[in-house]
Structure 1
Amino acid sequence: MRPLFLLPAALALIAAAPDSPRVSVETLKEVTKTLSSDSFEGRAPGTPAEEKATAYIVERFKAAGLTPGNHGSWYQNVPLVEITAQNVTPLTFTGGKAPVSLDFRTDMVISTYRVTPAIAVKDSDVVFVGYGINAPERGWNDYAGIDVKGKTVVILINDPDWQMPGRDGLFEGKAMTYYGRWTYKFEEAARQGAAAAIIVHDTEPAAYGWGVVQSSWSGPVHELDAAGDHMDQSQAIGWIQLDKAKALFASAGKDFGALAEAAKQKGFRAVPLGVKASVSFTNTIRRQASKNVIGVLPGSTAPDDLILYTAHWDHLGRCTPVNGDDICNGALDNASGVAGLVSLAEAQAKAGPAKRSIAFMAVTAEESGLLGSLYYAEHPIYPLSHTVGGVNMDGLNIIGPARDFVITGAGKSELEDLIVPLVAAEGRVIKPEPNPERGGYFRSDHFSFAKLGVPMLDGGSGEDLVKGGEAAGHAATLDYIEHRYHKPQDEYDPNWDWSGAVQDLTLYYQLGRQLADGSAWPNWYPTAEFRAIRDKSRAEAK
C-alpha cells in the first residue's frame, strides 16, 4: 500500500477548512426510518415503491435547499430491463457415476442477463476453470489451452491467494482484486463463450452466507436496457452450494478439495469433468425507466466544476421470507446512506454556496450491479472531466463512535491525503481495512466513477469502537453480515447509536467543502489503474 503523505494542495486546503454545520441526527433517523418502513416494500427499482422512494428523496432535497440537478428536473432516467426467471428446472449433471440434481433456491440459483423469453442449456460439457481468471498482466490464464464455447464452466469465488496473510500475493493476498468478484467471473466467462457460468458458493471467500445469495438471486434481475439485448452474455449464470459442488465432482470421479488447491497455483489448467449440464427456464421481461435522483447547490464562481456525493436508494424489494417476513427493508443498506446524503445537503446548503457546485445524487439499481451509477458515469449530466471528486456512502455507522477510520481500497487517490488531517482533527487514526478479502472497493457506486477516472472516497468508521474496542466492532460486523445483510432483518432500530455516523459525515462535509471552495484537482496516484483515464479527461478539459 502506498504510504500516505500530504501534498502541497492538501496543505493549502487544510488551512482553509471550514467549521462544520451540525449534522442533524433527527434527519438521519427520520429518513432512514421512512425509507426502510414496510410501506416502501424494500425499494426495488421498477416497482410502485420506486416512485414513492424517489418522490420522498426529492421532497427532502427541496426542503434542504437544493435545486433540480438535471436541467430543471430532479431525475435522470435510467433505462432498465427486468428479467425474472420462472419455471426453473433442476440443474442436472449427467454422465458421471450417478446423476446430480440441484433444486432452485435451495441448492442453486440461476438467472440470465440475456433479454430473451426462454433459456435452455442442454447436455453442455462441464469444465472446472479454477478461479476463472484471465489476467495477462499477472501471467495468469485459467482458460489457457481450452475452448469453453458452448460449455458450462464451474468457478471458484474470490482470488487464488485469498487465504494469504497480508497483501503480498500475486492477487494482493488477503485483499480481493476485481478478478475475485462474481461480476468479473461472469464477464470473463461470457468473453470466453461459455453457455453457462456457475460459481461455487463458499461462505468465507464469498464473505457472506448462502442466505444472501438466495435473497439476491432468486428474484428479478436488472440490467441496463441496451442495444443487442445482452445476447453476448452466457445463457445462464448462477451459484451452487459448496456441498453440491463436492457431490458433482465426486460423481465425475474428481476430488474437489484437491482441484481447488491446484487452482491456487500459477500454471493451473482447466479440467473437463466429463459430465454434462442441463437447465432451462422461462423469463418474464419488463422494460422500464428507473431513476437517479439528483439535486445541486450551484457554485458561485466556478459552477461548472462539480463535487459529487452519492448513495444508492434501492434495495431488494420482496425477497426470500424469514419467519414469514418477505420485505428486505434495507435500513442500513442503504436507507442510512440516503439519510446521510440528505443530512449533508442540509449542512452544505446551510453554509451557503461554495465556489464550485456540489451535487447530491441518490442512484438506482446498485444492488443489481451498480447500474444507476454506471449509467450516470457513461451519460453524465455534468462532464466527468469537470467532476473534481466526491464521496460515496453505502451504510453508515450505527453502532457508536470508532477510534479509527478506514479507507476502502486505500492507496489509490490523492483524496486520501486530504482526509488524513481531518481524521486526525477528530482524534482518530486511519487503519487498513479489517476485511479486505470482501472486495468492498468493487461493491459500491464509487467504482463506477473510478473506472472512468473520477476519484471518489469510500471510507468510514473502522471496527475499533470507543466502547468495546476491536472485539466489539468485529463482532458487530459479523453479526450484521450473518443475520441482517440482504435479509428482511435489516430493519430500522430506534436504539441505534448515530454518534459514529455524525463523526464520519462531518469528515465527508469537510472534505467536500474544501474541494468546493478550493481549486485543487485531486488525481489518482501514479501507480493507480485509473490514473491514465483521469489524465486524459483533464487534458481534454483544459
Structure 2
Amino acid sequence: MTFKMPLTLLTGLAITSATAFAQQIKVADVTQTINVLASDEMKGRAVYSPEIDKAADFIASEFKKAGPQPLAGNSYLQSFVMVSATQQSISARSAGKEIDPKNIVVLTSKPEFNYSPDDVQVETIKAGDNLFSKAFELAGSSKSLLIQVDESFSDRFSRLVFLKRNFFKTDADIVFVLGNTDPQKLTIKATHSIKENKLANVVGILPGKKLKGEYVIFSGHYDHIGIGKPENGDSIYNGANDDASGITAIIELARHYKAQNNNERSLIFAAFTAEEVGGFGSQYFSKQMSPEKVIAMFNIEMIGTDSKWGKNSAYITGYEKTDMGDILQKNLEGSAFTFHPDPYPDQQLFYRSDNATLARLGVPAHTISTSKMDSEPNYHKASDEVKTLDLVNMTEIIKSIAISAQTIVSGKDTPTRVDTRDLK
C-alpha cells in the first residue's frame, strides 16, 4: 500500500526546494486577488468597457509588486487595435460577369477598398474543412489574402460576415469569395464604416539566467462577458472561475518564481484580453513571439472548482500530443495530486483556448483546467462568483503547477513539440 501525502506535506527530495517555497502560495493571498478581479465593481470585465481597463491596471500593479518587469518598454500593457467594419456598398465582377454580393466577404481597415491582385496570396477552404474554424484562422493573417471557398458551403457562406465584427487593424485585406475565381480577372469595390477599438494584454517577464533566450509562458485570460440577462436579480457575470481563477494563478506563480530567483529560462506571465470574443489577445501575443524559442506554455483556465476526479486533480488538454504532461506528473511523484488527460476530447479543447495559436505552430502549449465541461453549473452565468469556488483546492492546484513546472523552468526538461501535421 502506498501512502500519498497531501501536497502541503510533500517532502520528496527531488522537489524539496520548490515545495518549501510553494507553501508561500497561500489561500489568503489567492482569496484577496480573486475577490478583486471578480468583484461587482469590475462589472464582468467585458471587452471595450472601462472595467476591463480597470482590471488590466490591477493586474499590472500586481505584476509590479510581484517582481516581473514589463515584457517590452516601460508598460506591462501590450496594446493593439481591433476593427469592426459595417459595409455600406459592394460590387464585384469576375471576367466581366457580376458576382452576387452575398458571395463576397471583405475584411478591410480601409473605408474605401479596391481589390488588386498584386501581392495577394490565394488560399482555399476545401470541401470537408471546418468552414468557420478555417475562416477564423485565415482572417488573422498579416498578409493580404484571396480565399476561395468551396461551393459546398454555399448555404453557410453568408454567415462569414460575423468576422467583420472584430478583426485586427492591419494594412492587409482579406477577401472571401464563394467558388473558384481567377484572381487576375476579379474586380471588387467596397465601402465601409470603420470603427477602431483598443485592447491590451498585460504581460511581464522574469529574465532567465543561463537560458535567457528560451521562454516558458504562464497565461490566462482576464476578460469575461460583462453585464447580461438578470438571474435572480443579478445581472453582473463576475467570471470568478472563468477566468479570474487563472489570472490569480499566474499572479501567484509570478511571486513564486521571483522569490525563488533561480529560473534558468525566461518566464513570461501573460493575462490575455478578448478570449471570450474570439481569442484575439492570445493571437496578438503569439504573433510577437518566435515559436521556436517558446519551450512550453501553461495556459490556466477555470481551476476554481473541483474536477470530475475530485480534489487534488486537474486535466491537461492535448495531453497525448507532447510529453509535457508526463514531465509534470513525474515531478509530482509522492504527492496526492494527479494531472489527467482531457476527459472531454469531443469538445476539442486543445484548439479552443488561448494555447491554440502557439500549439498550431508546434509549441507544447497546453491548457490546465478542472472545469467539468459537461456539467459546470455556473459556466457563463451570473452565478459564477467567488463564493461558488473551492479556494483551498485552487491554492493546491497553483502549488502543483509551480512544483511540476520546476524542471522545465530550470532547463532540466524540455517537452517534445506538437506535431503540426496533426492539426485539426
Q: Compute the TM-score of the two structures, normalised by the length of structure 1.
A: 0.57
Residue 8 (structure 2) aligns with: none
1:484 to 2:378 alignment: yes
Instruction: Describe how 1:80-479 pairs up with structure 2 within 5 A.
Output: 80-82=82-84, 114=107, 141-142=127-128, 179=130, 183-184=133-134, 191-192=149-150, 197=156, 221-228=165-172, 230-232=174-176, 285-323=194-232, 325-380=234-289, 383-399=290-306, 402=311, 404-461=313-370, 478-479=374-375
Letter in 2 for 1:291: A
Aligned equivalents of 2:26, 2:208: Cα separation in 1: 23
Aligned equivalents of 2:300, 2:194: Cα separation in 1: 31
Can you list the C-alpha shifts for 1:368-406, whole angstroms capped at 9, x where unaligned? 2221111111122xx332222120001113348525442
- SS across alignment from 2:298: strand
Residue 529 (structure 1) aligns with: 420
Can you list the C-alpha shifts for 1:119-160, whole angstroms capped at 9, x where unaligned? xxxxxxxxxxxxxx977xxxxx448xxxxxxxxxxxxxxxxx
Offset, 1:324: 5.1
Distance change >3 Å, CA 484–CA 430, structure 1 → 2: closer
Aligned equivalents of 1:376, 1:66: Cα separation in 2: 17
Offset, 1:479: 4.4
Can you list the C-alpha shifts for 1:316-363, whole angstroms capped at 9, x where unaligned? 223344455443322111111101111111111121242222110101
Residue 516 (structure 1) aligns with: 409
Distance change >3 Å, CA 79–CA 444, structure 1 → 2: same
Give the unaligned 5+ runs of structure 2.
Answer: 1-12, 88-104, 112-123, 139-146, 179-191
- SS across alignment from 2:361: coil
Offset, 1:439: 1.8
Deviation beyond 6 Å, 4+ runs, structure 1: 185-190
- SS across alignment from 1:42: coil
Q: Compute the TM-score of the two structures, normalised by the length of structure 2.
A: 0.72
Offset, 1:290: 0.9
Aligned equivalents of 1:433, 1:199: Cα separation in 2: 34
| Greater CA drift, 388-397 or 483-492 | 483-492
Distance change >3 Å, CA 39–CA 134, structure 1 → 2: same
The question of whether the paired residues in 2 share the 8 Å contact of 1:390 and 1:512 is answered with no
Can you list the C-alpha shifts for 1:189-246, whole angstroms capped at 9, x where unaligned? 973375763899xxxxxxxxxxxxxxxx99x943222334544388xxxxxxxxxxxx
Offset, 1:430: 4.5
Offset, 1:450: 0.7
The question of whether the paired residues in 1 share the 8 Å contact of 2:125 and 2:148 is answered with no
Give the unaligned 5+ runs of structure 1.
Answer: 1-13, 86-111, 119-132, 136-140, 144-178, 201-216, 235-282, 463-473, 533-542
The question of whether the paired residues in 2 share the 8 Å contact of 1:313 and 1:362 is answered with yes
- SS across alignment from 2:18: coil
Offset, 1:31: 2.1
Residue 121 (structure 2) aligns with: none
The question of whether the paired residues in 2 share the 8 Å contact of 1:18 and 1:510 is answered with no
Pairwise CA RMSD: 3.8
- SS across alignment from 1:500: helix
The question of whether the paired residues in 2 share the 8 Å contact of 1:461 and 1:500 is answered with no
Aligned equivalents of 2:85, 2:396: Cα separation in 1: 41
Residue 24 (structure 1) aligns with: 26
1:498 to 2:365 alignment: no
Aligned equivalents of 1:223, 1:316: Cα separation in 2: 18
